[in-house]
Amino acid sequence: MEDMERYGDYNDVEDDAPKRRRGGFLRVLQILVALVCLATAGVIGYRLFLFDYYPAPMKQLVFTEKLTAYYGEVGSAGALGVRTQKLRFPYDDNDKGNFFCDNLYVIPGAGELQISLRYNESALATIAEHYGFDSLTPSDDLFSFRITDNVGRDYGAPVYTATDAHAMYHYYKLAFDGIDFDDPADGAGAPAWIRLEIFVKGAEDG
């Protein structure tokens, strides 16, 4: 009787083994699915973070030589009269969107404008095609900049340029001065709008 009982026990063990293997496989599968979901959520979250991300130096007001002198005149940061606004056209092209601008600062008393912009490395293929280049390689001096206004005034190149990079994005911080926002001496009136123009360096007329 004892032998038969042991024999029965052995059969029970053999019957349970496949069930344990199936249960273990399901647990592993559940863990893998959970890890894939977490990784996907992490990637999506990171991309959303990058959508509005600018390194701190690209967002801050920069005290250029002229702005520093103006600060000395007014005596405090609160008296600088810094203005900002949401850009009406933050993209260079609504369809292609090669560049995106943000963090606009206007200091009328100093005649200065500061802005930051970024581009994705993937946009270089489109930009290269526009200018007739085979390809373009990211670099700090790849592009040149100038600002113009609605009556055709050309305020020239930035007096300050800084660059940074994070993941697939490259960033520029630009400052322009010599802008009369209220009563320009040429008598053409105050600028109604100001435009940032971007060129591949050396191909400004392209």
Which residue from 81, 126, 124 is spatially nearest to 105, judged by alpha carbons? 81
Lowest mean pLDDT among 2-6, 62-66, 111-115, 117-121: 2-6
Q: Which pLDDT does position 106 carry in this prediction? A: 94
Helix (H), strand (E) at residue 66:
helix 65-74
* Residue written as token pair 């085979």: 134
pLDDT at 2 over 70: no
pLDDT band, residue 200 (cuts 50/70/90): very high
Q: State mean pLDDT over 66-77.
A: 89
Neighbouring-strand partners of residue 164:
171
Q: What percent of the chain has pLDDT over 70?
A: 78
Q: What is the pLDDT of residues 137-175, one digit of tens each?
A: 999 999 999 999 998 899 999 999 999 999 889 999 999
pLDDT at 21 over 90: no
Complete DSSP assignment for 140-204: TTSEEEEEEETT--B--S-SEEEEEEETTEEEEEEEE----SS--TTSS-S-S-EEEEEEETT-T
Contact between 171 and 115 under an 8 Å Cβ cutoff? The reply is no
For the purposes of burial, counting CB atoms within 10 Å of the CB of 32, is it exposed (0-12), middle (13-18) or buried (19 or more)? Answer: exposed
How much is the pTM?
0.75
Lowest mean pLDDT among 48-57, 67-76, 119-128: 48-57
Contact between 159 and 177 under an 8 Å Cβ cutoff? The reply is yes
CA angle in degrees (0–180, nearest 5) for 144-191-180: 80
Q: Which pLDDT does position 118 carry in this prediction? A: 93
One-letter amino acid for residue 98 of the chain: N
pLDDT at 66 over 90: yes
Which residue from 138, 136, 143, 168 is spatially nearest to 158, judged by alpha carbons? 143
Q: Where are the domains of the chain?
A: 1-51, 56-200
pLDDT band, residue 69 (cuts 50/70/90): very high
Q: What is the pLDDT of residues 23-46, one digit of tens each?
A: 666 777 777 777 777 767 666 665
- Left (φ > 0), alpha (ψ -120 to 50) or beta: where does 51 sit? alpha
